[in-house]
């Protein structure tokens, strides 16, 4: 069992080292951060959505922005599209595939960002939300993995974690969320 635990920790660390060593990927992460920084400092709102574990990451990200990460500061405007009442109402009456799209149409403006998180980059409800957000003039950022799925063409900036393993991709996603929060509080 100890060998399995050590191997899984090494696999996680190895992927993060691979991301850190990829200058072009680091540049994409920096580009996304700078857009988020510009948005929050100009009074725009960061919206976020995802499914399953990625939904939890979207909520985690907005909570860090609204409350705080590590330092006392003014809160940043952020909201996730995962309110249970709204999500289940729209999904029941229309479709789950359009639930994030509806919220993007209601909330997103040209001053905002929509961050969509999907390990495959193929989540239809997030792709629909990206389309609606872009139509509203919002900047769109996708956190994904594998081959990027449809995210590279569906959003303005796609951060593609170079892994096929969902759990490893999610581990890098939460690390990237923490890096963005750290940078927002220190730059």
Mean pLDDT confidence for 143-165: 98
Q: What is the mean pLDDT of residues 160-178?
A: 98
> Number of folded domains in the chain?
1
Task: Please state the rounded mean pLDDT for residues 26-30.
Answer: 98
> What CATH number is given to the structural domain containing 179?
3.40.50.10490
What mean pLDDT do residues 140-156 have?
98
Residue 174's domain comprises 2-186
Distance CA 140, CA 157 (A): 7
What pLDDT score does 173 carry? Answer: 98
Looking at residue 153, what is its pLDDT?
A: 98
The mean per-residue pLDDT over the stretch 43-49 comes to 98
Grade residue 40 by pLDDT with cuts at 50, 70 and 90.
Answer: very high
pLDDT band for position 93 (50/70/90)? very high
% of the chain surpassing 90 pLDDT = 99
Partner residues linked to 145 by β-bridges: 161
117 class by beta-carbon count within 10 Å (0-12 exposed, 13-18 middle, 19+ buried): buried
**Average per-residue pLDDT in the chain?**
97
pLDDT band at 59 (very low <50, low <70, confident <90, very high): very high
H or E element at residue 161: strand 157-161
Q: 32, 28, 30: which is closest to 116 by C-alpha?
A: 32
pLDDT in tens, 110-144: 999 999 999 999 999 999 999 999 999 999 999 99
Query: Rounded to an integer, what distance in angstroms lies between the CA atom of residue 146 and that of residue 82?
Result: 24
């Amino acid at each position: 069992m100890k060998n399995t635990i050590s191997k899984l920790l090494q696999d996680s660390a190895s992927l993060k080292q691979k991301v850190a060593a990829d200058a072009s990927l680091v540049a994409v992460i920096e580009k996304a951060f700078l857009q988020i920084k510009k948005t929050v400092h100009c009074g725009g709102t960061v919206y976020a959505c995802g499914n399953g574990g990625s939904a939890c990451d979207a909520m985690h990200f907005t909570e860090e922005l609204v409350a705080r990460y590590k330092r006392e500061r003014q809160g940043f405007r952020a909201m996730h599209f995962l309110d249970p009442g709204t999500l289940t109402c729209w999904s029941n009456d229309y479709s789950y595939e359009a639930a994030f799209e509806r919220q993007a149409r209601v909330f997103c403006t040209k001053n905002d960002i929509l961050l969509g998180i999907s390990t495959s980059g193929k989540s239809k409800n997030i792709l629909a939300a990206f389309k609606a957000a872009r139509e509203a003039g919002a900047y769109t950022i996708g956190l994904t993995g594998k081959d990027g799925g449809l995210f590279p063409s569906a959003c303005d900036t796609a951060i593609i974690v170079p892994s096929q393993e969902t759990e490893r991709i999610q581990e890098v996603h939460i690390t990237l969320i923490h890096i963005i929060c750290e940078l927002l509080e220190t730059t």
